[in-house]
Structure 1
Amino acid sequence: MRLFVVLLAGVAATLAQSASAQTPEEPPAVVKALGACRALTDNAQRLACYDAAAASLVQAEAKGEIVVVDRARAEKVRRQAFGFSLPSLDIFDRPARAARADAPESARTEPPPPLDRITTTVKRASLRGDGKWVFELEDGAVWLQTDTEPLRKGARAGSTIEIRKTAMGGYFLNVDGQRAIRANRIK
Structure 2
Amino acid sequence: MMARLNMSKASGIAVLFAACLSAAGDPAWAQAGARPTAIRPLLDCRKVAVPEDRLACFDRESASLEAADAANEIAVLDKEDVRKTRRSLFGLALPPLPFLGGGKSDEGEPDGEGEAQLTATIASTKSLGYGKWAFALEDGAQWVTTEAVVYGQPTKGKSVVLKRAALGGYFAVFEGSGRTVRAKRVN
Structure-2 change in CA distance of 1:181 and 1:90 (3 Å): farther
Q: How does 1:118-137 map to 2 (within 5 A)?
A: 118-137=118-137
Is the counterpart of residue 151 in structure 1 residue 150 in structure 2?
yes
Render the CA deviation track for 1:96-124: whole Å, top value 9, x for unaligned: xxxxxxxxxxxxx9637741211011112
SS at match of 1:123: strand
Structure-2 change in CA distance of 1:133 and 1:77 (3 Å): same
Is the counterpart of residue 86 in structure 1 residue 94 in structure 2?
yes
CA distance in 1 between counterparts of 2:145 and 2:57 reads 57
TM, length-normalised to structure 1: 0.74
Q: Tell me the C-alpha RMSD between the 2 structures.
A: 3.0
CA distance in 1 between counterparts of 2:158 and 2:125 reads 9
- Name the residue aligned to 1:174: 173
CA distance in 2 between counterparts of 1:167 and 1:84 reads 15
Structure-2 change in CA distance of 1:110 and 1:162 (3 Å): closer
Q: How does 1:1-187 map to 2 (within 5 A)?
A: 15=10, 19=14, 25=29, 27-87=35-95, 89-94=97-102, 111=108, 114-148=114-148, 150-176=149-175, 177-187=177-187
CA distance in 2 between counterparts of 1:146 and 1:165 reads 14
- Number of aligned residues: 161
CA distance in 1 between counterparts of 2:71 and 2:82 reads 21
SS at match of 1:124: strand
Structure 2, unaligned stretches of length 5 or more? 1-8, 19-27
Structure 1, unaligned stretches of length 5 or more? 1-13, 96-108
Q: Which has the higher contact order (CA 8 A, sep 6+)?
A: 2
Given that 2:121 and 2:158 are in contact with CA atoms closer than 8 Å, whether structure 1 keeps it comes out as yes
TM, length-normalised to structure 2: 0.74
- Name the residue aligned to 1:103: none
CA distance in 2 between counterparts of 1:90 and 1:28 reads 11
SS at match of 2:173: strand
Render the CA deviation track for 1:89-148: whole Å, top value 9, x for unaligned: 5521249xxxxxxxxxxxxx9637741211011112222123211111111111111123
